[in-house]
Amino acid sequence: MAVAVEVRGLRKKYDGGHVHALDGIDLATAEGEYLVLLGPSGCGKTTLLRTIAGLEQPTEGEVVIGGSIVNGLPPRARRVAMVFQSYALYPHKTVLGNIVFPLKAEGLDRTAREKQARWAADLLGLGELLDRRPRQLSGGERQRVALARAMVRDPQVFLLDEPLSNLDAKLRASARDELKRFQRRVGTTTIYVTHDQAEAMGLGDRIVVIDRGRVRQVGHPVEVYDDPADTFVARFIGSPPMNLVRRSSTLVGFRPEHLLPAHDVAGEKVVLPFAVDRVEHLSGDRHVYGTISGFGEDTRVISRLPATLTEPIAEGVHDFAVDVRRLRFFDEGTGRRADPMPVTTTHG
């Protein structure tokens, strides 16, 4: 049965209180959920995961696994499996030997251990590779051995800290897909750390965006992308990020893919004169760079045109537009979402 993980009022200070790695985190997974922690380097993701695992003690707050407070319990007793970015396999042991190893301290007899190890190996599609040594495996296969080794004690919770970052881009994509299918099959609650937003968007049932030890937003990937809670999330998620234009004390935001030639936007829209100075071609899409004026402060923005829009865009001023439903408003002072401000729109 899948269990939920919860943290309440979690704080972690280092260096005599100078570093607030976690600055009051409240968070709860659903049972069997795939929760992704996303944030820039140093925001506290690893510290949060290590605190849940029991490898760090919080300065304040509680960690709850399966309904019980586990503060003070050693990692082993929490029944969590953690896979780090740099997992080390034993080079002289076979795949089976590596996977079986964590069971040696469990007091199982040899047959029971091997049975359990084969179960984990099969789950991860390693059944044919049990006699190989790590150096005879691809990066992705080694990664799976590390996962099988974490899986073998049948943990209640998986804690994964950038487990794919040693793989090249292509392998990463397939390993990501494998990981997701594997988790669906076993249904174990998983908390996954990454600073890669594409990975977060692809894997997470929900994403937790963290900045400087605080949660900025928790939501389904689409929600976090479409409705960022503040300007940090708006800028951190999306590549290129959301455009933000200052208009008195409000920042008006819109995604690059929503800034399009005016005649390609149907319905109620805001027309923006766009002085284009550069066009970049990127695998079918075009990124168009320039400055919009006449709508708050003159601001450099980016438009992303899909491959289906083939009209040429030359340097110079063009009428671009954004569907009003795509505009997001933020308070300039706090960065939080603000009430929509009136804007002049046209139809058609």
Distance CA 159, CA 53 (A): 8
**CA distance from start to end of the chain:** 54
Residue of 142, 144, 195, 206 that binds ligand ATP (CB under 6 A)? 195
43 near ligand ATP (CB under 6 A): yes
DSSP 124: T
Q: How far is the CB of 8 from ligand ATP (least distance, A)?
A: 19
- Is 54 or 290 the residue whose CB approaches ligand ATP more closely? 54
Distance CA 202, CA 197 (A): 8
310 near ligand ATP (CB under 6 A): no
86 near ligand ATP (CB under 6 A): no
Q: How far is the CB of 100 from ligand ATP (least distance, A)?
A: 30
Both tokens of 19, joined, read 């570093």
- Is 27 or 301 the residue whose CB approaches ligand ATP more closely? 27
Contact partners, residue 311, CB within 8 Å, separation at least 6: 261
Distance CA 320, CA 259 (A): 6
Residue of 3, 25, 45, 272 that binds ligand ATP (CB under 6 A)? 45
CA torsion through residues 224, 225, 231, 232, sign: positive
Minimal CA–CA distance to 347: which of 329, 325, 323? 323
58 near ligand ATP (CB under 6 A): no
Residue of 44, 228, 290, 296 that binds ligand ATP (CB under 6 A)? 44
Residue 87, SS3?
Answer: coil
41 near ligand ATP (CB under 6 A): yes
57 near ligand ATP (CB under 6 A): no
Q: How far is the CB of 249 from ligand ATP (least distance, A)?
A: 32
Residue 231, SS3?
Answer: helix
Q: How far is the CB of 45 from ligand ATP (least distance, A)?
A: 4
Q: How far is the CB of 170 from ligand ATP (least distance, A)?
A: 23
The footprint of ligand ATP on this chain (CB under 6 A) covers a number of residues equal to 13
CA torsion through residues 104, 106, 117, 160, sign: negative
What residues does 288 pair with on adjacent strands?
279, 303
- Binding to ligand ATP (CB under 6 A) within 8-27 occurs at 14-15, 19, 21
Both tokens of 47, joined, read 């510290």
Q: How far is the CB of 218 from ligand ATP (least distance, A)?
A: 16
47 near ligand ATP (CB under 6 A): yes
Residues found near ligand ATP in the complex (CB under 6 A): 14-15, 19, 21, 39, 41-47, 195
